[in-house]
Amino acid sequence: MIKKDVVIIGGGAAGLAAAVSCREKGIEDILIIERESALGGILKQCIHDGFGLIKFQHSYTGPEYAHKYVDQVEKQKIPYFLDSMVIDITNQKVLTVVNKSGLKKYKAKSIILAMGCRERTRGAIGIPGSRPAGIYTAGVAQNLINIHNYMIGKEVVILGSGDIGLIMARRLILEGATVKMVLELLPYGSGLPRNFNQCLFDYDIPLYLNHTVVNIRGDQRVESITMAKVDARGEAIPSTCKDVSCDTLMLSVGLIPENELTKMAGIKLDPLTGGALVDEYGQTTVNGIFACGNVLQVHDIVDNVSLEAEYVACGVEKYLSSFLKPKNDICIELGEGLQYVLPQRMQFLDDTVFSLRVSKPGQKKKLVFKNDKSIIKQKTFLRVNPAEMIRIKLTTQELSGTNGLKVDLES
């Protein structure tokens, strides 16, 4: 069994930032394990710009943003394995890794989970109909078009208005396809507002809110879909069904943190985020195993992934120097109007960045942090949107003397 101080599973945005940050803190013995044949993760295929505005005050494309970190990994000589899969981890932090050279076992003092997320598929949302070629998730379409130079179709209908779907709508148009419409089940868009503007409205692509796809038709290839309006409960209204001819259906209907390994290690998950339950350092319910990036919570901005990974590196440094002792954590209570809040539990030792998402869009809302006695912090938002993660820092001073915390969204 090979011993390592820190093993990072995943060489995407989160894993790379965690690795660079750990090395900056003086941790020498690091190993990144990446299953693809290059570092960079999903950033490699996100060739549009808009990355890095928070972290670097500059707008980069995905490959450029990834390159900044890959460059650091190379310069700092941080070891990494490519084409390598972690197939098992235990709560004793033993990892089983397979690659072309065979199967090896590693014993890590600390593990950082940075496996990212995957897309919900047609199966996950259960669209009835036949099973022809021409049904893609937005991320797969992005990979085929931007990395492999395969076009996915000529006449495209998009279901779901997640950011990747919107970005791909514009990309498909510029690559010569027709994007007939974007259908969204919810009464509001799922992506960032600026992407509706620069990807749909710029190209006059119609957006139908409260609509879904209820049938797919086609023998070899998709020939048409049936769209329908949905009622307040999200159920299709039969009288509104309408056939739309197309050769491609692209799905952008949500992302799921990829936590199979997390479960193997016996780590508790939060059903609200789909990721691990963590404390303020991103430490999971197994001491010494940390999580950051989309495997912990699905992010809308990569800069926040990098920042989260930097926080986790602080936690790893503290853990390795035996500063983080297992203690009784206090649970953060989730109040009204919020989907989730991270961390879910904490010890109130340090300045802490809370990340959270609201349940539905709203105007003039007040985010309130209170302990059992009083309000310790509040912030008013002109607008809130589930698509936009809120990150807010509470200092040690604000948190001092607190032995319980509730987060609420008030009108």
Using CB under 8 A, list all residues that contact another protein: 38, 44, 47-50, 53-54, 59-61, 63-64, 67, 146-149, 171, 173-176, 192-194, 196-198, 202, 300-301, 382-383, 388
CB-nearer residue toward another protein: 209 or 244:
209
Identify the residue whose tokens are 């539990």. Answer: 345
The DSSP line for 144-188 is: HHHTS-----SEEEEE---HHHHHHHHHHHHTT-EEEEEEESSSS
**Least CB distance to another protein at residue 332 (A):** 25
**Least CB distance to another protein at residue 324 (A):** 32
CA angle in degrees (0–180, nearest 5) for 169-171-175:
120
For 17, 41, 317, 348, 392, the CA distances from 36, given in Å and listed in that order, are 17, 8, 27, 38, 34
CB-nearer residue toward another protein: 57 or 411:
57
Note the residue count of the chain. Answer: 411
**Least CB distance to another protein at residue 393 (A):** 17
CB-nearer residue toward another protein: 148 or 327:
148
The neighbour count for residue 26, using CB atoms within 10 Å, is 9
The neighbour count for residue 405, using CB atoms within 10 Å, is 24
Q: CA–CA separation, 269 vs 284, rounded Å?
A: 9
**Least CB distance to another protein at residue 75 (A):** 15
**Least CB distance to another protein at residue 387 (A):** 9
CB-nearer residue toward another protein: 284 or 297:
297
**Residue 367 in contact with residue 355, Cβ under 8 Å?**
no
Continuous H helices in 235-285:
260-264
Give which of 317, 318, 293 is closest to 10, Cα–Cα: 293
Q: Return phi, psi of residue 43, to 5°.
A: -60, -30
Identify the residue whose tokens are 């998730």. Answer: 137
**Least CB distance to another protein at residue 203 (A):** 9
Q: CA–CA separation, 189 vs 207, rounded Å?
A: 9
CB-nearer residue toward another protein: 174 or 232:
174
Burial group, residue 242, by CB count within 10 angstroms (0-12, 13-18, 19+): exposed
Residue 233 CB contacts under 8 Å (≥ 6 apart), including other chains: none
CB-nearer residue toward another protein: 38 or 331:
38
CB-nearer residue toward another protein: 81 or 217:
81
- Taking the alpha carbons at both ends of the chain, their separation in whole angstroms is 56
**Least CB distance to another protein at residue 178 (A):** 13
**Least CB distance to another protein at residue 303 (A):** 8
Q: CA–CA separation, 297 vs 383, rounded Å?
A: 22
CB-nearer residue toward another protein: 112 or 182:
182
CB-nearer residue toward another protein: 10 or 191:
191
**Least CB distance to another protein at residue 193 (A):** 4
